[in-house]
Amino acid sequence: MPYKNNLYILFFLIITNCTTGSLINNKSNFVYNNNFTNRGFTLVYNKKLYEQKIISKKLDKRSLLIFQKNLKKDTTVKITNILNKRTIIAKVGNNSSYPSFNNSVISTRIASELDIDLNEPYIEIISIAKNSMFIAKKAKTYDEEKQVANKVPINSISVNDLNVIKIKKKKVNKKDFSYIIKIADFYFNKTALLMIERIKVETKIKNPKIQKISNKKYRVYIGPFTNINSLQNSHIDVNILGFENVEFIKK
């Protein structure tokens, strides 16, 4: 019996030490430091979701705040609509509960700026350090624009030249719906194989796979899934494992 317990402890230590990305245990919550990144499906806030208690906190429609359960309040994040490559800088707001299938909750303003497709709201969230050069450059540009704006007369009127030919935007060919669920990345193939066995024993998932990313990176995943319903159902099974940063990756 002690041998079995020691084996479980050893397995736990291997898993926690071999997954990529660093975690800081803060009481019962896990909080990522500045290397946090996640790809998944966001949820666009609306009043009904709050009234139905699907989301526990209100979010102003003009806000540049998001709800993200893995990051501390006031963390600066870069959000990218992966389908069209549009990006925006936002901040993490108060802690709020929302469906585990979603990696965040965003305001209608952010959704509009990113031109989010509500049928496939696939985004990437990357945390940005406070001393990031990107943020400094963004702030500098904003100050310069502000100075130029102050020099423009209030009564100036701009008139569009109707003879100018408008450049038509090329339509982006949207790929078919196809996603995998990334369980975790490991440094060693043996550790990935242990995770495969754990998934088979502890969940209803019977066909987890391993993808060799590099000599020191082995990805355990399930899928691909060709519709959002099957993706959600499998995500529920994955939640049993207790991983905090499960990602959806478009194929």
68, 37 in Cβ contact below 8 A?
no
Q: Which of 75, 45, 77 is nearest to 61 (CA)?
A: 45
* Residue with more model confidence, 122 or 15: 122
The pLDDT-based confidence of 154 (bands split at 50, 70, 90) is very low
- Alpha-carbon separation of residue 31 from 67, 70, 91, 221 (angstroms): 14, 5, 15, 23
Give all domains of the chain, ordered by start, each with its CATH number: 35-128 (2.40.40.10), 179-250 (3.30.70)
Report how far Cα 32 is from the mean position of its chain's Cα atoms: 13
CB 135 within 8 A of CB 128: yes
Query: Maximum Cα–Cα distance for the chain, whole Å?
Result: 84
How large is the average pLDDT for residues 208-223?
95
Q: What is the pLDDT of residues 9-55, one digit of tens each?
A: 444 444 444 444 433 333 334 444 458 999 999 999 999 999 999 99
Q: What's the pLDDT band for 129 if we cut at 50, 70, 90? A: confident
Q: Is the pTM of this model over 0.85?
A: no
Which tokens hold the place of 115?
Answer: 């031109």
Which of 189, 195, 226 has the alpha carbon at shortest distance from 208?
Answer: 195
